[in-house]
Structure 1
Amino acid sequence: MTWGAKDERRTRPVWWGLAVTPARLRASAGAEPVLRRPVAPMLAAPVDLVPEGPGLVHEPKWDGWRCIAFREPDGVYLQSRAGRNLTTYFPDITRAIRATVAPRVVLDGELIVWERGRTNFAQLQRRVTAGRDLLRLAREWPAHYVLFDLLADTGGQVILDLPLAQRRARLEQLLVNAPAQLTVTPQTADMRQVADWLLHWTVAAGIDKRLTGRYEPGRRGWSKFRTRIVTEAIIGGVTSSISRPETVLLGRFDRRGRLRYTGRSHPLTTDQRAALAELLTPPRMPHPGTVAHPWPQPLPASWSGQLDRPEPLPYLQVEPTVVAEIAADVAFEHGRWRHRVRYARFRPDLSVYDVPLLLGEGKDPFGTTIG
């Protein structure tokens, strides 16, 4: 597995990143650099197999919101992956950080909410729209901040260049007396433990890192593996054009026979586009008292499940007669896959009434695990 463009890194400054530049690391003569927001978090590139080898460690990937926390002298600032200010939505987390962490420390982790032994992504989303109910929501559904990296240590010492093993040791020491809401994510080099996470934990995904690796803001220097299921869905729309679709929009019938939107695919290959163009047609004219297509145009921004800059999605509606075989991860909430799925092929042997019904929350009971 390739862990990054090493030759390219040699030509760049130590502090290179999408948001972290020399200007973001302010220092007077003789003083240590100070890490200032925004900081682009280090990212993970998707892989199809869990990498193995000496010096590699594995962590569960939590189903929440990536968050970099700045313990500033006068308070706490929570930054999303895209640089959005999350501070006001998580008073429970800011209170815990302020009481536990020394000023100028910078942390990296994932905000999650637990419900009956599993993460509840919908409760995170409710924080943004709760308004006056925010404090009640925080009491009833407290958030947790699962931490996996330390970017600036006590006193503001920037430690991006330290190996992961050393950053991890400092993080654990920093949180030795922290409340349960602030916890260090598990980490292991034992592949049996990794298999247990993927099979039995609700995370169903993992992040793989090198113990000697630096923290490189904005770079995909880690790898990410997800457990996936193979299942079917109905194509109800496409982006770009019907004659050359770029992505497909998928749905399933609910118990009342309504076609409900369930998610969107990654970009199709050239061959997949050509094959689907032969099968897809615009919606037929409706019968009196019926609608031509059950989904709004464009798709509402709220249907995307994204926190950062969601926008309505214009698309082309198609007659929902084509069944698609897809590979999807198990992040399936409120009747939708939160992440894009992989389109595999169309299934001419299946009717749309052979596709599993939209039954509700949780893992697709008809899926076949391939991860």
Structure 2
Amino acid sequence: MSVATAVSPMLARAVDTVPEPDSVPGGLSYEPKWDGFRSIVTFDGTSSTIASRGSKMLTRYFPELTYAFEDLLPEPCVLDGEIVLRTGDPGGEHLSWEQLSQRIHPAASRVRRLADETPATFVAFDLLSRGGHSLLDTPFAERRAALEDLVGALGDPIHLTRTTRDVALARRWLVEFEGAGLDGIIAKPLAAVYAPGKRSMFKVKHHRSADVVLLGYRLHVSGSGVGSLLLGLYDDDGELHSVGGASAFSDAWRLRLIDELAPLVLHDEEGTVVTGETERNRFSANKDTSYVLLRPSRVLEVRYDHMEGERFRHTVQFERWRPDRDARSCTFDQLERPIAYDLGDVLDQPAGE
């Protein structure tokens, strides 16, 4: 494989628990699941490029990282890793998805300013090519050893992710590292070759439930049925806050929801349906962000991974309606908050455990 060859990242399939090391031939290696932009970095010995999981070029958005790759990497290589953004003071650092997402901006001047104000970090967790020689057919245990040799001592902003073969320690990481904003645990078969685009790894993420208030809905992009539900929670002062959305409904379900939610739709004095609009961002600049307002009286239970600030980090999953719950009882107090954990302790520990 040439270092210039585009590679689709190897993927992971979700499992409910951290798997035992003997569940696959050759055993497993465990590492933190980072919450950032999955990236394939190609360095040809002179210049570097950064491609996203979907092969979108990210190079222009992270000039500080391209400079670091070109200055620090000792030889041509292709790295698989994650771009993350660290925020907070030493001793209380954590990952910030919100600040990271702001880096995707069309204005070059803003990109340069943010590169200075909120520089990104690259966490390497696999090595696909070294010195122009492909490692795709090399077992992960050998790729990991080569990765440690190549980037283990480079220093900020290029870090080597921690790994362990101790399943008990991996399960402890699943709990502890969430406090620093990490997303779960990845388990990689030690004997497996790199399989671009294939779900050859395992991922374990946090799954929790919460009872939330239905605030409104967006129409599906097809114009037929409900596309997503807007959700809210009450604070201690009785104010209702938007906390995210739920989607992924079947075609038949989307149509049923229109009729089911019709009695809750708010109308003005002239009988016109009341609508609102969510805040636009760089990812929704060309999207319809309007929604139909509903009387905030219906409660539903949802599954979620974790919170960032006062919002669900990802789109949540609908579980069931909760007709037994009063909307006013749906407060932030019910949410499980992870114990704080310093991101620096995740990044700066030895690679092997």
Offset, 1:292:
1.8
SS at match of 1:142: coil
Counterpart CA distance in 2 for 1:273 and 1:136 is 43
Pick the aligned partner of 1:224 from 200, 203, 225.
203
User: Which structure is richer in relative contact order (CA contacts within 8 A, separation 6 or more)?
Assistant: 2
* 1:264-303 alignment, distance < 5 Å: 264-267=246-249, 279-281=260-262, 283-287=265-269, 292-295=274-277, 300=280, 302=282
Offset, 1:72:
2.2
Letter in 2 for 1:125: S
1:349 equivalent to 2:324? Answer yes
Offset, 1:194:
1.7
Counterpart CA distance in 2 for 1:329 and 1:133 is 31
* 1:1-371 alignment, distance < 5 Å: 33-54=1-22, 55-116=27-88, 117-129=93-105, 131-154=108-131, 156-201=132-177, 202=180, 203-235=182-214, 236-237=216-217, 239-240=219-220, 247-253=228-234, 257=239, 260=242, 262-267=244-249, 279-281=260-262, 283-287=265-269, 292-295=274-277, 300=280, 302=282, 311-312=287-288, 318-330=294-306, 332-333=307-308, 335-356=310-331, 365-368=333-336
Cα pair 2:72 2:154 within 8 Å, conserved? yes
Offset, 1:108:
0.5
Cα pair 2:127 2:147 within 8 Å, conserved? yes
1:174-198 Cα distance to aligned partner (Å, 9 max, x none): 0143122111111112223222222
Cα pair 2:36 2:82 within 8 Å, conserved? yes
Counterpart CA distance in 2 for 1:243 and 1:80 is 32
Cα pair 2:11 2:200 within 8 Å, conserved? yes
Letter in 2 for 1:221: S
SS at match of 1:284: coil
Letter in 2 for 1:344: E
Counterpart CA distance in 2 for 1:310 and 1:106 is 34
Unaligned runs of 5+ in 1: 1-32, 358-364
Offset, 1:249:
3.5
Seen in structure 2, the aligned counterparts of structure 1 residues 57 and 275 have a Cα distance that, compared at 3 Å, is farther
Counterpart CA distance in 1 for 2:111 and 2:225 is 45
Offset, 1:53:
2.8
Offset, 1:369:
8.1
Give the TM-score of the pair, scaled to structure 1: 0.75
Offset, 1:224:
1.2
Counterpart CA distance in 1 for 2:337 and 2:256 is 26
Offset, 1:244:
6.6
Cα pair 1:160 1:216 within 8 Å, conserved? yes
**Which deviates the most, 174-183 or 55-64?**
174-183
Unaligned runs of 5+ in 2: 339-353
Offset, 1:333:
3.0
Alpha-carbon RMSD across the aligned residues, in angstroms, is: 3.4
Match of 1:17 in 2: none
1:266-290 Cα distance to aligned partner (Å, 9 max, x none): 43698x77986774226131248x9
**Which deviates the most, 317-326 or 216-225?**
317-326
Offset, 1:56:
1.3
Seen in structure 2, the aligned counterparts of structure 1 residues 132 and 164 have a Cα distance that, compared at 3 Å, is same
